[in-house]
């Protein structure tokens, strides 16, 4: 046990989690050898009589059955707001979670954080349906697929559950409001940041490019899910802003489905197979949550003169900027999304009118500003 | 059509078919008898094998599931890891903000572990404070209404709690395994649980033959159904399906129950971890048919092989037996079609060979006889022709016609008419070609007609009378038998005798036929001539070249050719007194 604790005590978030999982698998590896004939030494076969005699019929189902309807589905008696990010494995939402929980405590709410572990629209829909069935007081969701989520959101609204969106909107739905970044403005800001970097370099970008604005630059965009409304808005605005200032040839867009490991793989492959690549635009900061040693190709490309601009200004992204692994950072304020989302939902639950769209702030972090931003940001990694 | 097929009587069947049918019956009947003796024993063995098979299936299923149980219970060791304990403790102390720091990492591992086991739907850590952390994140639960928490909240040591199949939060059929989270000092912090899809039970029976209507049940210690293919049965007592006491009495076993007069095989095995009993229920007929499929195929192959052997052996034997008979029949067919030249060649000396030899001998004799008959017929025709030629000589016709003319010239019309009538009758009998024999009565008519004509021609130089027993009148006699004899009397017996000649024709039955005799009172035959006549009559070869005694020899030969050597003419004569010729005939 103590050995295991030591193993978990260091390293980056992902590495730590992988080691943790490995440790557990090691526990499992001996299971088959025991076989069925050797009873677990401390196991008592339990009859289900207790479950069936439970007063709450739904509790008969055991662990995961739907609690009784209404906001007070826990022992606290407080209204519950369930926040449903795109996935649990995307750390970008951590600021939002912390802020939302803080706001919930302030407002006397239970805040739940529920999502498919990996980006999975179907599972996200099932989760929302489960929350509607539980009749939680409110749901704040970042939609994986705005079109697919719209009918479910409408079902919840019809059932009396207050549902709003954050980060990734579903504008066609009947959601109460959207709180999050103006993604078009964010994409445009990223493009302007890139233009500034290129201007500083006097038109030079990429390995041995030595070109400038006179000849087309080769660019690739790495984004999350193909259907993600917010990410597509950023891409459109990015391209639109650049188009009038710069001649750019775009390689096919890379989709990492909000997965850090896929972001690593895709970036490593493109920088290895296409060394003439000049620009990478990340619509989210997935890559920079990975350990440095896992992005060697990308680091080589950067050191050879490649220019990278990314959305998101979380602690790991800022760390990467400080290490000169990315030159331009345009951040969103997820904490504000979490805080405002809970606050507005609470107001809505209490019958107040809320605006349909609430944009949160955008910040551009230059290499000169990165140290100060790092000081003011939260590092969620356990040291 | 079928009726027609069955309408075939044995008597209409060929010998070969009969033999084949006999051999096949002789081959099959012992098999059927043997089968009837062994069938009941086979049934018992089959039933025992089916129970053994079902028991093995049940044991395998239980072992597979038990291994799975071990694995998922080992996963619950996760509760003892540092992060989980910290997460649970911080939550229970109300430090939600701090606990959240651990949540991400724990969730990541829960999801990873979930993926290591198929059918594992979710892993949930539930604190006594009412916070649940699962593969989908954190949410609130109410410990007061949570059945598992209520069941485990007082546990002070590790135990495993199995919750029967129920609906998960997403509406899937799952069962739950839970363990309390116990601190080293025995404080109960909450519990860890795993939702497992009931596909585990369904998949466990994949590839297993339980018959079309066979199925697996899982029942708990009280006999309540924990899992059934039909979800409606879950929670109900299994007592309506089989006696619960039977599965309580032992950890595993098998027995037969009866439902609506049909036997069901039941085998069971109880899992030591969960206390759940896996019960396989299968209609015996279906599972036996399944098990017996290969055996039936083998029996069919064996039966077909035996039957084929019997049929082919029967065919061979019957062919061996009937082929000579068939050849014999074909040969007889040829013989029946007048082909007497063929000869059967059989190398065997068995009954069939002997029969063939006898047949060959018979055919040889028939052939000889027929040759003889043909020869005799030729002789008869020749003798008849000669007799006719002899009797109806032109000068006889001329003389007769001349006599008729003389009578007409004498205006003796009555006698002329009589003579014409007699001559017509004479010619009608003489020229009756193709008729070998006539009745005695017709022969007498013919000879009296002849004598009447001759009397007119010769005047009344002789008299004759006919006295014949009426009994012999219908009997058959060679045509023109008596005419040569009476002609001899007229020409030779009455030679030189212008008046007073007398001919007596008699007929009477004798022992082996009848006799016709012609006696005259002529000059008789001297001894030398008598010897010559007797010698000529005894010459069976026929001395046709010699015209002497032609009439007697011809008549004698015709009788013997027609009726055999024991018949013929017998001549007696006393010189100067007369001659008597007796024709001995059958009839």
Q: pTM (2 decimals)? A: 0.59
Q: Which of A47, A64, A98 sits opposite B221 (nearest CB)?
A: A47
What is the tens place of the pLDDT at every residue in B422-431? Answer: 888 888 877 7
* B194: its two tokens: 């795993």
Q: How far is A122 from chain B (nearest CA, A)?
A: 12
Q: How far is A370 from chain B (nearest CA, A)?
A: 24
Coil, strand or helix: which one is B282? Answer: strand
How many other C-beta atoms are found inside a 10 Å radius of the C-beta of residue B439? Answer: 14
What is the band of A361 on the pLDDT scale with cuts at 50, 70, 90?
very high
CA distance B117 to B65: 12
User: Chain B window 507-546: which residues touch A at a Cβ cutoff of 8 Å?
Assistant: none
User: Chain B window 73-102: which residues touch A at a Cβ cutoff of 8 Å?
Assistant: 73-75, 77-78, 80-83, 96-97, 100-101
- Residue of B149, B144, B106, B80 lying closest to A113 (CA atoms): B106
The reply to whether A103 touches chain B by the CB within 8 Å rule is: no
Task: Give the CA count within 13 Å in the CB-facing half-sphere of A61.
Answer: 19
The reply to whether B134 touches chain A by the CB within 8 Å rule is: yes
DSSP state at residue A47: -
For residue A294, pLDDT beyond 60 = yes
Please compute the mean of the pLDDT values over residues A88-103 and round it to a whole number: 89
For residue A336, pLDDT beyond 70 = yes
Q: How far is A33 from chain B (nearest CA, A)?
A: 9
Cβ atoms A92, A315 nearer than 8 A: no
CA distance A245 to B232: 69
Q: Which of B83, B143, B166 sits opposite A61 (nearest CB)?
A: B166
* Exposed e or buried b per residue across B179-196, where buried means at least 16 C-beta atoms within 10 angstroms of its C-beta: bbbbeeeeebbbbbbbbb
* Partner-chain contact B111 A4, CB within 8 Å: no
What is the band of A40 on the pLDDT scale with cuts at 50, 70, 90?
very low
Cβ atoms B275, B162 nearer than 8 A: yes
Residue of A nearest to B219 (CA): A47
Cβ atoms A44, B73 nearer than 8 A: no
CA distance B274 to A190: 59
A interface test, pick of B75, B133, B151 with most A CB neighbours within 10 Å: B151
For residue A10, pLDDT beyond 50 = no
What chain A holds in terms of domains, given with CATH numbers, is 67-180+335-360 (3.40.50.2300), 183-332+364-376 (3.40.50.2300)
Which residues have a Cβ under 8 Å from the Cβ of B123 and sit 6 or more positions away?
B75, B78, B110, B113, B114, B134, B135, B192, B193, B194, B195
The mean pLDDT value of chain A amounts to 80
Q: How far is B257 from chain A (nearest CA, A)?
A: 26
* Partner-chain contact B116 A101, CB within 8 Å: no
CA distance A304 to B529: 166
* Partner-chain contact B81 A20, CB within 8 Å: yes
At residue B302, the pLDDT reads: 77
* Partner-chain contact A114 B104, CB within 8 Å: no
For residue A53, pLDDT beyond 60 = no
The reply to whether B443 touches chain A by the CB within 8 Å rule is: no
Residue of B nearest to A97 (CA): B100
> Pairing state of beta strands B501-510 and B462-468?
parallel
B interface test, pick of A35, A62, A81 with most B CB neighbours within 10 Å: A62
- Residue of A221, A286, A190 lying closest to A198 (CA atoms): A190
What chain B holds in terms of domains, given with CATH numbers, is 14-305 (3.30.450.20), 378-585 (3.30.565.10)
CA distance A141 to A144: 9
pLDDT under 50: residue ranges of chain B:
1-2, 5, 543-544
Q: How far is A197 from chain B (nearest CA, A)?
A: 36
B interface test, pick of A4, A30, A44, A48 with most B CB neighbours within 10 Å: A48
> Pairing state of beta strands A80-84 and B501-510?
unpaired
User: Chain B window 44-73: which residues touch A at a Cβ cutoff of 8 Å?
Assistant: 62-63, 65-67, 69-71, 73
A5-8: long-range pairs with CB below 8 Å, 24+: A5/B82, A8/B81, A8/B82, A8/B83, A8/B105
Enumerate the residues of chain B whose CB falls inside 8 A of the CB of residue A46.
151, 159-162, 275
The reply to whether A19 touches chain B by the CB within 8 Å rule is: no
Interface ipTM > 0.85 = no
- Residue of A321, A304, A303 lying closest to A312 (CA atoms): A321
Phi-psi region of B559 (alpha: psi -120 to 50; beta: other; left: phi over 0): alpha
The reply to whether A67 touches chain B by the CB within 8 Å rule is: yes
* Partner-chain contact A117 B107, CB within 8 Å: yes
Which residues have a Cβ under 8 Å from the Cβ of B452 and sit 6 or more positions away?
B418, B419, B422
Task: Quickly count helices (H) and strands (E) in chain A.
Answer: 14, 13
Task: Give the CA count within 13 Å in the CB-facing half-sphere of B294.
Answer: 2
What is the tens place of the pLDDT at every residue in A211-268? Answer: 444 568 999 999 999 988 899 999 999 999 999 889 999 999 999 998 899 999 999 9
* Partner-chain contact A28 B74, CB within 8 Å: yes
The reply to whether B272 touches chain A by the CB within 8 Å rule is: yes
Q: How far is A111 from chain B (nearest CA, A)?
A: 8
The reply to whether B142 touches chain A by the CB within 8 Å rule is: yes
Percent of chain A scoring above 90 in pLDDT:
60
Enumerate the residues of chain B whose CB falls inside 8 A of the CB of residue A91.
104
The reply to whether A130 touches chain B by the CB within 8 Å rule is: yes
At residue A15, the pLDDT reads: 34
Instruction: Tokens 């046990």: give the residue.
Output: A1
């Amino acid at each position: 046990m103590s050995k295991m604790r030591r193993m978990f005590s260091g390293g980056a978030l992902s590495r730590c989690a992988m080691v943790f999982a490995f440790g557990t698998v090691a526990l499992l590896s001996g299971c088959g050898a025991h076989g069925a004939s050797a009873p677990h030494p401390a196991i008592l076969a339990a009859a289900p009589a207790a479950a069936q005699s439970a007063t709450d019929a739904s509790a008969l189902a055991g662990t995961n059955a739907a609690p009784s309807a209404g906001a007070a589905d826990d022992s606290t008696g407080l209204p519950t707001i369930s926040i449903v990010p795109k996935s649990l494995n995307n750390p970008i939402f951590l600021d939002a979670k912390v802020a939302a929980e803080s706001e919930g405590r302030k407002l006397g709410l239970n805040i739940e954080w529920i999502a498919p572990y990996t980006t999975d629209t179907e599972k996200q829909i099932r989760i929302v349906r489960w929350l509607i069935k539980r009749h939680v007081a409110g749901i704040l969701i970042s939609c994986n697929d705005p079109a697919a989520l719209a009918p479910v959101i409408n079902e919840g609204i019809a059932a009396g559950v207050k549902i709003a969106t954050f980060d990734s909107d579903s504008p066609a739905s009947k959601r109460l409001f959207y709180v999050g970044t103006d993604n078009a403005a964010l994409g445009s800001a990223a493009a302007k940041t890139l233009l500034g970097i290129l201007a500083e370099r006097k038109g030079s970008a990429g390995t041995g490019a030595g070109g400038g604005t006179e000849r087309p630059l080769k660019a690739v965009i790495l984004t999350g899910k193909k259907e993600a409304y917010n990410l597509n808005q950023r891409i459109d605005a990015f391209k639109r802003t650049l188009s009038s200032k710069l001649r750019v040839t775009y390689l096919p867009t890379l989709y990492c489905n909000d997965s850090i490991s896929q972001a690593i793989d895709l970036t490593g492959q493109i920088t290895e197979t296409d060394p003439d690549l000049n620009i990478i635009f990340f619509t989210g900061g997935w890559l920079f949550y990975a350990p440095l040693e896992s992005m060697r190709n990308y680091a080589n490309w950067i050191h050879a003169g490649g220019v990278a601009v990314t959305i998101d200004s979380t602690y790991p992204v800022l760390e990467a900027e400080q290490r000169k692994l990315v030159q331009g950072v345009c951040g969103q304020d997820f904490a504000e999304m979490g805080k405002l989302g809970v606050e507005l939902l609470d107001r809505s639950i209490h019958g107040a009118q809320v605006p349909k769209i609430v944009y949160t702030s955008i910040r551009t972090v230059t290499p000169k500003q990165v140290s100060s931003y790092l000081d003011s940001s939260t590092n969620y990694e356990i040291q | 059509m079928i009726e027609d097929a069955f309408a075939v009587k044995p008597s209409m069947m060929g010998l070969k078919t009969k033999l084949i049918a006999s051999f096949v019956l002789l081959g099959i009947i012992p098999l059927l008898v043997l089968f009837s003796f062994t069938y009941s024993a086979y049934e018992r063995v089959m039933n025992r094998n089916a129970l053994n098979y079902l028991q093995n299936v049940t044991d395998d299923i239980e072992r597979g599931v038990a291994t799975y149980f071990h694995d998922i219970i080992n996963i619950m060791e996760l509760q003892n890891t540092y992060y989980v304990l910290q997460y649970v403790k911080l939550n229970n102390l109300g430090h939600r903000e701090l606990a959240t720091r651990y949540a991400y990492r724990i969730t990541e591992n829960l999801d990873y572990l979930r993926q290591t086991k198929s059918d594992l739907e979710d892993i949930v850590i539930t604190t006594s404070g009412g916070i649940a952390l699962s593969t989908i994140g954190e949410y609130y639960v109410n410990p007061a209404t949570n059945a598992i928490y209520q069941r485990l909240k007082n546990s002070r040591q590790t135990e495993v709690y199995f919750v029967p199949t129920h609906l998960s939060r997403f509406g899937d059929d799952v069962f739950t395994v839970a363990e309390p989270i116990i601190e080293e000092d025995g404080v109960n912090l909450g519990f860890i649980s795993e939702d497992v899809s009931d596909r585990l039970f369904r998949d466990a029976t994949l590839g297993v033959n339980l018959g079309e209507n066979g199925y697996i049940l899982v029942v708990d210690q009280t006999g309540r159904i924990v899992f059934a293919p039909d979800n409606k049965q879950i929670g109900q007592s299994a007592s309506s399906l089989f006696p619960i006491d039977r599965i309580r009495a032992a950890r595993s076993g098998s027995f037969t129950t009866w439902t609506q007069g049909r036997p069901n095989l039941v085998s069971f095995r109880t899992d030591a971890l969960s206390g759940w009993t896996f019960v396989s229920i299968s209609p015996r007929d279906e599972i036996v048919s399944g098990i017996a499929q290969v055996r039936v195929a083998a029996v069919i192959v064996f039966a077909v092989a035996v039957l084929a052997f019997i049929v082919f052996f029967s065919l061979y034997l019957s062919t061996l037996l009937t082929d000579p008979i068939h050849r014999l029949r074909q040969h007889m067919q040829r013989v029946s079609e007048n082909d007497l030249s063929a000869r059967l060649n059989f190398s065997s000396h068995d009954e069939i060979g002997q029969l063939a030899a006898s047949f060959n001998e018979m055919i040889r004799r028939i052939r000889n006889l027929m040759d003889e008959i043909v020869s005799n017929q030729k002789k008869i025709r020749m003798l008849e022709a000669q007799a006719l030629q002899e009797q109806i000589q032109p000068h006889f016709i001329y003389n007769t016609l001349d006599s008729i003319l003389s009578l007409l010239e004498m205006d003796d019309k009555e006698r002329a008419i009589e003579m014409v009538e007699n001559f017509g009758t004479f010619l009608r009998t003489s020229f009756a070609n193709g008729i070998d024999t006539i009745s005695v009565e017709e022969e007498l008519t013919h000879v009296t007609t002849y004598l009447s004509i001759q009397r007119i021609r010769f005047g009344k130089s002789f008299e004759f009378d006919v006295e014949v027993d009426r009994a012999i009148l219908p009997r058959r006699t060679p045509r023109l038998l008596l005419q040569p004899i009476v002609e001899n009397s007229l020409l030779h017996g009455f030679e030189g005798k212008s008046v007073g000649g007398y001919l007596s024709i008699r007929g009477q039955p004798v022992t082996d036929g009848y006799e016709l005799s012609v006696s005259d009172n002529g000059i008789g035959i001297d001894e030398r001539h008598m010897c010559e006549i007797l010698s000529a009559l005894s010459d069976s070869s026929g001395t046709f070249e010699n015209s002497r005694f032609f009439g007697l020899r011809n008549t004698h030969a015709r009788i013997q050719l027609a009726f055999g050597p024991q018949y013929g003419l017998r001549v007696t004569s006393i010189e100067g007194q007369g001659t008597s010729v007796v024709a001995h005939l059958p009839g």
